[in-house]
Structure 1
Amino acid sequence: MNESGKKIYLTSSEIASLWTGYMNDSMSKYVLSYMLKHIKDKEIKPVVQHAYDISDSHLKQLEDIFQNEQYAKPNAFTKEDVNENAPWLFSDLFCLTYVNHMAKVGMITYSGFVSMCARKDMRDYFTQALTETANLYNLSMEVAMSKGINIRHPYIEVPKETDYVDSKKYLSGLNPLSNKRPLNAVEISHLYQNIVTNSVGMKLCIAFGQTSPYKEVQDYMLRGKNISKKHMKIFSDKLLEDDVESPHLPDVGVSDSTTQTFSDKLMMFHMSLIISAGIGNYATAGAASQRSDLMINYERLSLEVSRLAKSGADIMITHNWLEQPPGLKDRKKLTREKEG
């Protein structure tokens, strides 16, 4: 209600943000509940517990909003989507890395939601969620640093004076016969970050692939793993051309368990989420990079990832795993049904 007592209805962006937030937190809750069942590390477990508590709290708040707005709650995920008694699948260090990575994704997602919402209560909720997720990211970083597994971006010399681009050659990079200018700090940071995020995606593909009972899901995860490895090499090679080392990634291994741990519906949804985040990362990196070879790389690699996303959606549709987001009614279909 506004100050005059009139009801302010949800906009399309608010409806979309609530639906997406619920789906993501529902998935996270059950992945984290499985991790909590097995984690032994006394420093990592409270971080994962905090992440679980945030997701659980968000779901309760969103359910209240759905009820007040007479908004059909998404089916999302339940305890049936996780086998908490399955053998341990991830190392404790992976659980910490996973929370850190998902917190990064959450910060980007929630900042977008805040910017798309008009109603004050919606802005307040997503601002609170953004703050909680940022605090979770900081907590996970502190624990990672204390354990010596924090992945630091490379150091370069701090600029002592300002400068301007004095030639169009600054933007070039496609001609293999000409010398490319060295990478700038912005380009290095995006190459580095995309190596790290692909590493997390690769480990999830391994874990999901070896525990799925469906061959098409296994093949899909194998394809995702190979794409992640290929992209990591491309980005690492670009850094090495300028004698910048690629990240020393921590040993965040996956066990050899083949017991189904998560439902295929949850695993495929999870992959669609991190693929969407990856495409967003590539778009941001491409826009921020000023060397033409880097721009072209991000564009063509985004297309490859988009094809993977399309294949994943096809599998989910075939098995009725893809829950449909809220949308407009098909007016033509309604008219035809009425005429029939």
Structure 2
Amino acid sequence: MPKNVHLTSAEIGSLWTAYMNDSMSACILRFMLKHISDADIKPIVQYAYDLTSDHLKQLRTIFEDESYAFPNGFGEQDVDMNAPWLFTDTLCISFMRHMGKVGMLSYSGFVSLSDRDDIRTYFSQALTEANKLYNQASKIELEKGIAGRHPFIEVPKSSDYIDSKAYMSGFNPFSDQRPLNAVEISHLYMNVLTNSIGMKLCIAFAQTSPRKEVQDFMLRGKDVSKKHTKIFTYKLLEDEIEVSSIPDVGVSDSTTPTFSDKLMMFNMSLLISSGVGNYATAAAASQRSDIATDYERLSLENAKLAKSGADIMIKHQWLEQPPGAKDREKLAKNKDGSEI
């Protein structure tokens, strides 16, 4: 790429975010690979690890070509490879499927934010790889009978139009609420699944962190995920919609510090951000006002949790600062050549 085609702020931010996420994922996947025993699941984890390793190499090459300072990210110091096994193999494959889903959402956004051909090509390839990871993990889950499958409803026999504003209402105590539609059901159950994974990770991180404030944060996160799961499940059961069993994504009884607090807090920050995005999408797609309002209310709860997590990370200098614009006022006041 010609040197006169500079990276935009969107491309700089996307590359930084991708590096941070891949460096964190590499630590978790490397630990999983050492302990996982299921012969069907291990190749999927290996594929995911190979992807993250290759991504990090490509990103470093881009950074070098652009004189872009490497983010610190995460590395060997953030995982104890000698720690006892912490997860069940089932959690690993559920985590792979979730990684694929988050990757598809993230990379599609990065592609749309990028102007340069080489950057769009990189993120487009990463999007294809995330899609492959999701498909492979989904196939293994289904074959093993451990997939959390979305509820079944009758296939429509005819098309129809909304004939009343009451279709959009969910708060009127003097009229019956209409049944959930297929779009609302899909989002409710998807958020049951994602909160279930978040709940188990919070438990794993809480029991292995040596710091009480991190333990307390993770336990609070577990309680929030549990509460949200109950709310979404209740909405489905109100309409006699059965929620299929959630995969046994459990954790062991190990209390040995496995991952650094910095990595665990960053991981939870990523999961919470993903959850807020899921809720926003679900709220926009839900045509019953009570459901949309629930998502908005629960998003605020997630935002408060994220804020308390960020405060802990800032306190311990774990929160790496994304690239940003120069403070022009500060530059103007520092003309003595001192570093800004």
Tell me the TM-score range normalised by the shorter chain.
Answer: over 0.9
Aligned to 2:32: 35
CA distance in structure 2 between the aligned counterparts of 1:201 and 1:252, rounded to whole angstroms: 10
Given the alignment, which residue of 95, 111, 114 partners 2:111? 114
CA distance in structure 2 between the aligned counterparts of 1:180 and 1:78, rounded to whole angstroms: 52
Structure 2 stretches lacking a partner, 5+ long: none
Aligned to 1:315: 312
Aligned to 2:241: 244
Contact 1:96–1:144 (Cα < 8 Å) also in 2:
yes
AA of the residue aligned to 1:194:
N
After TM superposition, the structure 1 = structure 2 runs for residues 129-168 of structure 1, keeping only pairs within 5 Å, are 129-168=126-165
After TM superposition, the structure 1 = structure 2 runs for residues 1-340 of structure 1, keeping only pairs within 5 Å, are 1=1, 7-338=4-335
CA distance in structure 2 between the aligned counterparts of 1:69 and 1:333, rounded to whole angstroms: 25
More displaced, 176-185 or 225-234? 176-185
| TM score, norm. by length of structure 1 | 0.97
Contact 1:196–1:247 (Cα < 8 Å) also in 2:
no
Give the secondary structure class of the aligned counterpart of 1:66. helix
Q: CA deviation at 1:178?
A: 2.3
| TM score, norm. by length of structure 2 | 0.97
CA distance in structure 1 between the aligned counterparts of 2:297 and 2:158, rounded to whole angstroms: 35
More displaced, 282-291 or 157-166? 157-166
Give the secondary structure class of the aligned counterpart of 1:320. coil
Q: CA deviation at 1:337?
A: 2.8
- Superposed CA deviations along residues 155-207 of structure 1, whole A, max 9, x for unmatched, are 11111111100000000001234210000000000000000000000000000
CA distance in structure 2 between the aligned counterparts of 1:295 and 1:336, rounded to whole angstroms: 48
CA distance in structure 1 between the aligned counterparts of 2:161 and 2:96, rounded to whole angstroms: 40
CA distance in structure 2 between the aligned counterparts of 1:174 and 1:72, rounded to whole angstroms: 53
Structure 1 stretches lacking a partner, 5+ long: none
Aligned residues: 337
Contact 2:265–2:309 (Cα < 8 Å) also in 1:
yes
CA distance in structure 1 between the aligned counterparts of 2:172 and 2:255, rounded to whole angstroms: 47
AA of the residue aligned to 2:7:
L
CA distance in structure 2 between the aligned counterparts of 1:149 and 1:177, rounded to whole angstroms: 42
CA distance in structure 2 between the aligned counterparts of 1:313 and 1:292, rounded to whole angstroms: 31
Q: CA deviation at 1:338?
A: 3.2
Give the secondary structure class of the aligned counterpart of 2:335. helix
AA of the residue aligned to 1:53:
D
Moved over 6 A (4+): none
Contact 1:192–1:247 (Cα < 8 Å) also in 2:
no
Percentage identity across aligned positions?
Answer: 66
Contact 2:79–2:260 (Cα < 8 Å) also in 1:
yes
Give the secondary structure class of the aligned counterpart of 1:338. coil
Q: CA deviation at 1:332?
A: 1.5
AA of the residue aligned to 2:228:
H
